A and B are shown apart, each in its own frame.
Chain A
């Protein structure tokens, strides 16, 4: 009996020894495992997809090189096919059998909402970068979700305000007929009206569409100065292309409410010159963004979109929080993520709020004319920096129950 007690004491001493020398990180299942759940082959695979997976790997490599963590980090990825049921099932599988600690990216709103709910149930974290609707941190917020890159509130704040200021008072919307399009149209209409503009009407097109000429003709007939495109991806690309064909631009101007640099790249500057857009990141903004983006370019042969850059930033911040918390337990890590400011090439003094929103500056960009573009991917003039506190829903207006009022 005596020997047994002694033995246990020695074992305990050995087990706790590191705790006295340095605060070792205790991670569940021997590693911090990140699951990148994204659109690998569908409509959004250029703006997120394989690029997001690469950005996540870069974040992990950089973190290991710089912070020398005492825990292992693993990355796996899967295609969520933009379907809520597929994403929720994958998330469950990852949490239950693959020991995934955190899921990152999630490109469509429906997938994000489905996964963040499952993750919360299992006390795991979701880092949403690709999806855009505001309910993620508003009505449907939870305490294990962080929404990183942009949302439908922040997009029109830059674009719509700027366009109204330039004299584009009368608006007409071409809206994708699903949750995201409706949310974007609603948020933009509010900004337009608040800034002294007027909304003349809107037309809703089936998603996805290919021929937009009928809708463009309705927009033309409305006589509005500005046609707001409350859609995304291929729909936006085709709307812009066909507006030019039908002689709508430059008589009426177009406002792309969600445009990524991948869209501009694929359309070319000829078709997009002069358009305003709001973005959370531009690769050519300063030396820091250029350095990182060129490294990314080496691997992917494309410049990163805001979603891909934002994803890197969110993963790096998360890993720092794990190290600081000394554990990968979700609540403890979330507390650290909220406590520590985000300072990297993507965000300066970014802050994760109680509702899960990562508040950072957004940029109002204007697409360059072909003659102004001096080198590949030289696409934007940054016209204005929108301060974080103006870019996102003020906490006072939040409907998130986690926000104490």
Chain B
């Protein structure tokens, strides 16, 4: 059976791959959305921190002998702590200023971090092996699905919806949301708002690093892997609605699928399709698909 001249099996395969890429978009845009939603910072360093996550996994494996599973836990903690250091020493001075200042600062940081890694590791980067437990794959009939990619989908869905649940459905989450609406009032209730903000930024950064570790076995670990991705991820956040948690998850996955379909029907356009959608969405719904007008 064919759909527009493409065998349905091939189409299924491409959709699945779109979903895998969408998972990366979802985790990264989720981190961005949390940071923007709660801190009002447009975190341009997100791509660099994602790259740092991947490199830390590589360094852990090759210099310290820590395997993939340890890296998956340890790297987000380490990079998240680095993020908190940035927040404490630099970002906290910018909350009262226009968004642009945060954007410029984090953009500068991204360039510095990238430059340092480029200086140390060169541009071709390093290769990270797929963990043994997840090597090989399943033959689904219509395609060969590497076990590792299946793992990526599963774990990112768990992490994304877990984060959504914490923020939208728990008491801790309600503090966070209250903190963005009215920090003074929340402070009056005896909650340490600055600490909460620091931890939130750390969590957003940890998500980026987590995505970096997830990506390390499938992409070449190189200093520009973040800057290649970050623009797309920003488009995802804008389409989903800046600061909307659920919006970023759903849009991330959805746009992964659309990009996958474009690769089947007109591959040359696959790099632009997301931006075309972004343009249309901004014209029709400036606050994004899931965003609220403020």
Contact = CB atoms under 8 A, between A and B. Distances in A.
Interface of A: 41-47, 49, 177, 203-206, 208-211, 213-215, 217-218, 220-221, 233-234, 237-238, 241-242, 245-247, 262-263, 265-268, 270-271, 302
A237 B14 CA distance: 21
A42 B123 contact: yes
B17 A265 contact: no
B228 A208 contact: yes
A41 B267 contact: no
Given A215-B267, A234-B220, A266 B127 contact: yes
Contacts of B149: 213, 245
A211 B127 contact: no
A46 B10 contact: no
Contacts of A41: 115, 118, 123
A210 B228 contact: yes
Contact of B267 (A214, A247, A265, A302): A214
Nearest to A302: B122
Nearest to B18: A214
Given A177-B268, A242-B218, A246-B146, A217 B123 contact: no
B95 interface: no
Given A218-B10, A237-B125, 4 more contacts: A213-B149, A214-B17, A238-B219, A246-B144
A217 B17 contact: yes
Contacts of B21: 211
A238 B128 CA distance: 12
Per CB-CB distance, the 5 closest pairs between chain A and chain B, nearest first, are A206-B271, A266-B124, A214-B263, A46-B124, A247-B144
Nearest to A206: B271
Nearest to A262: B124
A214 B264 contact: yes
B263 to A, nearest CB: 4
19 contacts: A43-B224, A44-B123, A46-B123, A47-B124, A204-B268, A208-B228, A209-B271, A211-B21, A211-B218, A213-B149, A214-B14, A217-B13, A217-B17, A234-B222, A246-B137, A247-B146, A263-B124, A265-B124, A266-B220
A217 B222 CA distance: 24
Interface in B211-229: 218-220, 222, 224-225, 228-229
B70 to A, nearest CB: 22
B10 A221 contact: yes
Contacts of B90: none
Given A206-B270, A211-B21, A245-B146, A43 B123 contact: yes
Nearest to B143: A217
Given A247-B137, A247-B146, A46 B268 contact: no
Contacts of B228: 208, 210
Contacts of B122: 45-46, 262, 266, 302
